[in-house]
Structure 1
Amino acid sequence: MNKEIIKVSSFWGEELENLLISQNSDILTIILPGMGYTKDKPLLNFASKLSITRGYDVFFIEYGFQVVNKSLNINNNDEVSYLLKETIESIQCVLKKTYKKIIFIGKSIGTVIATKISDKFNEFDQIHILLTPVDATYINKVKYKTLVITGTEDPMINKIYIDKMMEDKNIRLVTIERGNHSLECSNVFMSIDMIKQAIQEVDNFLINNM
C-alpha cells in the first residue's frame, strides 16, 4: 500500500493536498466529504476502510473553501463552478487507463458533486454511494447504480426528493429511523447502531455490484 499526496491549486488561494492510497487496483474509490463532515468522521472513515480492505485504490478529495476555513455559498454559481472544476482536476490527476471502475462515495454536498461530475468520467464503469444527500443531489438525475442512505429526521432533504428516489430503478434507498444529517441521534448507542447499519448497507452494496 502506497500513500501519495496529490497537490492541486485551488481557486480559494491554497494548494489542495489530496491523499491517494494506491494498492495497484483496477478500481478507484473517490471520497467526497460534506461541508463540515471530513474523511475522518465515522461514515466516511468506515466506508473508505471498506474499500481499502477490499484492495481498491482510494482517493480523498479536499475542497478549497474548507482548507481556507471559509463557507461555500451554494447559491453562488461561480463558487460552485470553481469547486466542481478543482474536484474534476484533482481526479484527473490520478486516473489511469488501467482503472476499470470508479466508486463515488459522497456525503451531503459531496453527493451533489458526485452527480454533477460523473459524466466527466463516463468512459469508466461507475457506481455511486450517496450518504445523506440534500435537495440539490437529485436535480442531476442519477444515471448509475446507486445506494442512497438517508435518515428520517434529516432536515437537509425534502420528502419530495426521497419519494423520487424511491421510484428510481437505479437507486437502492435505505432510510434509517430517527437518523439526522450525520445518521446519528441524541442517544449515543442508537447512533452507533445507525452508523453500523449504514456501513453494513455500503458493504452489501459493494459485494453485490463489484
Structure 2
Amino acid sequence: MFKVKTDSITGYKEKDIHYTVLSTDEHAPKLAILLPGAGYTTQAPLLHYSTGVFLHKSVDVLQVNYTYNDKFYDHFSMDELVEAIKFDVGTIIDKVLEEKSYDGYYLVGKSLGTIAMASLLDRKIFHHAKAVWLTPLLNRDDVFESMLHSRNESLCFIGDDDTHYNAERYRQFDNNPKLVTRLLEGADHSLQYKSDPVRSIDLLKTVIKEIDAF
C-alpha cells in the first residue's frame, strides 16, 4: 500500500494547478518528479507504469497534474505558455520540498514536460538528478541544448515517426557520454505504433524495463 496526498498551488495568472505525492515509505530518501505532456497525463501508460516502478523501489513520486490543453490557455502565446510551465512546476516543487527533503531525485518529462525539465536541471538541487526524456521536443533550442550539454545521467526515448524528432539534432547527442539514447523506429509521439496495439504494448514494456533498470 502507498499513501496518496493531493493538493494544489495558485499558479500562473491565478490558475489552480493540482499535484499528487505518492509514497510507500515516510523515510523515502529519493523523489521522482513526473512532468506530463499537454494531453498525455500522469495516468497515461508511460507515466502510470513509471510511477509503479518508482514506488516499488520505495521512491516517492510527485505527479504534477497541469492541464495546459484547458481553454484557460487558449489565448496564450507559446512564450507565455512556457513561462506558465516554468512558474507552475517550480512553485509546486518548492512547496513539496518545504515539507520534506530528499537525498536524490529523478526527473521524468514527457513532451511538453521536457520544457520544464530543461529549466529544472539548471537548479543546483537537481545537478545530480537522473533525467528521463520521453519524446522530448527536440526542435526547441532550450530542450535540445539542455540534453546536449547536461552532465546529469540521462535516458532518452523518441520515435523517428514523432513530429518532434529531429535527426540532425539527435545525432549530436552522441557527443554527450552521460546521455543514453533510444531511437525507436516507426514509433510516434505517444511511443506507439499506429494501428498496431500489440506491438505498442511490447514497446511500452521495453521502455518501462529500461526506466526500471536506470
TM value normalised by structure 2: 0.87
Q: Relative to 1, partners in 2 of residues 1:200 and 1:71: Cα closer, same or farther, differing over 3 Å? A: farther
Q: Deviations over 1:28-72 (max 9, x none)?
A: 000000111101111111111100111110000122534556458
Alignment partner of 2:186 out of 178, 185, 190: 178
Q: Are residues 123 and 10 of structure 1, via their aligned partners in 2, closer, same or farther at CA, if it must alter by over 3 Å?
A: closer
Query: How much does 1:27 deviate?
Result: 0.2
* Paired residue total: 204
Query: Per-residue displacement from partner, 1:109-141 (whole Å, max 9, x unpaired)?
Result: 112211212222436631101111112221323
Structure 1 match to 2:213: 204
Amino acid at match of 1:155: T
Q: Which runs of 4+ in 1 moved over 6 A?
A: none
**Matched residue of 2:123: which SS?**
helix
CA displacement 1:135-193 (0-9 Å, x = unmatched): 22213232300000111211212112211223211100012221111110121111111
Output the amino acid matched with 2:186.
R
**Mapping 1:35-114, distance limit 5 Å:** 35-63=38-66, 65-66=68-69, 70-71=73-74, 75-76=78-79, 78-95=80-97, 98-114=101-117
The letter of the residue matching 1:6 is: D
Gaps of 5+ in 1: 206-210
Counterpart Cα distance in 2 of 1:124 and 1:109? 21
Contact 2:18 2:66 (C-alpha < 8 Å) held by counterparts: no
CA contact (8 A) 1:6 1:93 kept: no
Instruction: For 1:119 and 1:150, locate their aligned partners in 2 and report how far apart those are by CA, in whole Å.
Output: 23
Q: Look up the match of 2:31.
A: 28
Counterpart-to-counterpart distance in 2, 1:15 and 1:73: 16
Checking the alignment, whether the CA contact within 8 Å between 1:12 and 1:68 is kept in structure 2 is no
Going from structure 1 to structure 2, the CA distance change for 1:83 and 1:98 (only over 3 Å counts) comes to closer
Identity of aligned residues (%): 23
Alignment correspondent of 1:139: 145
Q: Is the 8 A contact 1:27 1:102 kept in 2?
A: yes
Mapping 1:113-132, distance limit 5 Å: 113-122=116-125, 125-132=128-135
Residue aligned with 1:38, SS: coil
The one-letter amino acid of 2:87's match is K
Query: Where does residue 160 of structure 1 map in the other structure?
Result: 168
CA distance in 2, matches of 1:174, 1:123: 23
In structure 2, the residue matched to 1:208 is none
Give the superposed CA RMSD.
2.1
TM value normalised by structure 1: 0.88
- 1:169 aligned residue: 177
